[in-house]
Amino acid sequence: MNTSASAMITQFAETNGYSPEGVWSAPGRVNLIGEHTDYNEGFVLPFAIDRRTRAAVGLRNDGVIRVTSTFDNTSAEFELAALDAARTAGEIVGWSAYPLGVAWALGEHGADLASVTGVDILIDSTVPVGAGLSSSAAIESSVALALNDLWNLGFSREKLAQVGQLAENDVVGAPTGIMDQSASLLGATDSAVFLDCRSLEANVVPLGLAAAELSILVIDTRVSHSHATGGYAERRAACETGAAAMGASSLRDVSVSDLDRAHELLDDVTYRRVRHVVTENQRVLDTVRVLREEGPLALGALLDESHVSMRDDFEISIPELDLAVETARGAGAIGARMTGGGFGGAAIALVPHALVSEVATAVRTAFAEAGFGEPVTFTVTPSRGAERMSTAELDG
Ligand code: GLA
């Protein structure tokens, strides 16, 4: 939905009978490069996008948390102090697992859920669901920042990212890493977040897309995926097997020069899984260096190599993503790759401003010719991370 902030406040008042304390917003993300490296304690380079989730939050005078949304008619309500029992009993289901999971995870990180004020939360989002753009992390990050402010917890943004990840892992049930929440909380205009997923040290790296007259075109295949089931967990397990066989605590400790030894020790599939992660970590480091030394026009080969590695070694691409990448390249993109966890979702292409509509049209035509469902294409702009909306924005 794209409800205006004032319409959200009206809906909140109609639903709850009083006005919210404020509205917090958090972006979805696109990963420029560094895929399936986060849970291997490696490097990632995502950026926050200009599609955001907003959470209008008000205080109740009891210990209850109640969540509603602008996109469906459901609501979920629990005693905050009983969230842990509800989680254990599997009673937290559907999209409400994201905001409720965050409240629970804040408790796991030290908030005293038996003494904080109750809250009403209304969620609205313009981050497309299922496109691999982390609509879930956007909800988690907006709610985490709101509750951190309203409950005076004083947690850092890095810690709030861990809170969101814990909600996703233990309440939603998806064994994902720390990348999405970090991008949503730490992003900055025209910049990417270079994150070391071992130390959690984050640095903002200017992308310089505007100056180079480059756009990021998202090609959403509309093939849906879920990281709570299937392939994602299997890939994660293969990485752990590979690291253990190499005598390493994680693949972060395996480098490109160890790959010959990995080839001797591992079966073919595990070797290729390991090779993807190890080379992808190196590509993130190379991308940061190329951005600093040469700028974004020089990134094409790294993006293309990343896609090939995910297609052939990690095997998480699908024909629609491969076609999107190949067609975008053929029509003038500087580089292209699938982005996110894979098995569906979106590809990104780095495209000169002047060629955006040509590339989008070429991809749509190629999909029609291949008999694939029509993709959705749109550009995204690297944007600022989560924030409380100002009074001026709320009035506007
Ligand atoms: C999903 C997960 C992230 C990350 C990516 C793959 O988006 O949520 O933690 O593992 O897949 O890079």
pLDDT of residue 230: 75
341-374, pLDDT tens digit by residue? 999 999 999 999 999 999 999 999 999 999 999 9
Q: What number does the ligand 1 atom closest to the CA of 134 have? A: 7
- The pLDDT score that the predictor gives to residue 229 is 67
Cβ(363)–Cβ(219) under 8 Å?
yes
Identify the DSSP state of 69: E
Give the model confidence (pLDDT) of 224-257 as tens digits.
877 666 799 999 999 999 999 999 999 999 999 9
Q: Is the CB of 39 under 6 A from ligand 1?
A: yes
CA–CA distance from 209 to each of 191, 201, 203, 215, 216 (Å)? 9, 24, 18, 7, 8
Substitution site in 29, 32, 36, 339 for ligand 1 pocket (most atoms within 8 Å of beta carbon): 36
Instruction: Please work out whether the CB of residue 168 comes within 6 Å of at least one atom of ligand 1.
Output: no
Q: What share of the chain is helix, strand, coil (3-state, %, to 5)?
A: 45, 20, 30
Please tell me the distance between residue 33's alpha carbon and the centre of ligand 1 in angstroms.
Answer: 11
Residue 209 has pLDDT above 90, yes or no: yes
Mean pLDDT of the chain: 96
Rounded to the nearest angstrom, the distance between the alpha carbon of 263 and the centre of ligand 1 is: 26
Q: Is residue 277 over pLDDT 90?
A: yes
Ligand 1 atom 9: the closest Cα is on which residue?
177
Confidence of residue 129 (pLDDT cuts 50, 70, 90): confident
The catalytic position among 120, 180, 220, 313 is 180
Helix (H) / strand (E) containing 68: strand 64-69
**36 touches ligand 1 (CB under 6 Å):** yes
Question: How confident is the model over 177-192, as pLDDT tens digits?
Answer: 999 999 999 999 999 9
39-67 per-position pLDDT tens digit: 999 999 999 999 999 999 999 999 999 99
Which atom of ligand 1 has the smallest separation from the CA of 132?
Answer: 7
Residue 2 predicted with pLDDT over 70: no
CATH architecture of 5-205+390-395: 2-Layer Sandwich (3.30)
Q: Catalytic site residue 180?
A: yes
Pocket flag, ligand 1, residue 177 (CB < 6 Å): yes
User: How far apart are alpha carbons 214 and 208 in whole angstroms?
Assistant: 9
Count Cβ neighbours within 10 Å for each residue of 148-163 and write b for 16 or more, e otherwise. bebbebebebbbbbbb
Atom 5 (ligand 1) nearest CA:
341
Cβ–ligand 1 distance for 305 under 6 Å, the answer no
Q: Are 334 and 351 in contact (CB under 8 A)?
A: yes
Q: What are phi and psi of 69, to 5 degrees?
A: -145, 165
If we measure between CA atoms, which residue out of 57, 48, 54 comes closest to residue 18?
57
35 CA: nearest ligand 1 atom: 12
Contacts for 280 with CB less than 8 Å, ≥ 6 apart: 33, 34, 35, 36, 37, 42, 306, 309
Ligand 1 near 220 CB (within 6 A):
no
Rounded to an integer, what distance in angstroms lies between the CA atom of residue 306 and that of residue 54?
32
Q: Which of 169, 180, 193 to mutate to test the pocket of ligand 1 (most atoms within 8 A of CB)?
A: 180
Nearest ligand 1 atom, CA 39: 10
Domain positions in the chain are 5-205+390-395
Report how far residue 64's alpha carbon sits from residue 222's, in angstroms, rounded to the nearest whole number: 37
Name the residue at shortest CA distance from atom 8 of ligand 1: 176
Residue bearing the CA closest to ligand 1, atom 11: 341
- Residue 130 is predicted with a pLDDT of 79
Indicate whether residue 342 lines ligand 1 (CB < 6 A). Answer: no
Q: What percent of the chain has pLDDT over 90?
A: 92
| Rounded Cα gap, residues 57 and 23, in angstroms | 6
Confidence class of residue 258 from pLDDT cuts 50, 70 and 90? Answer: very high
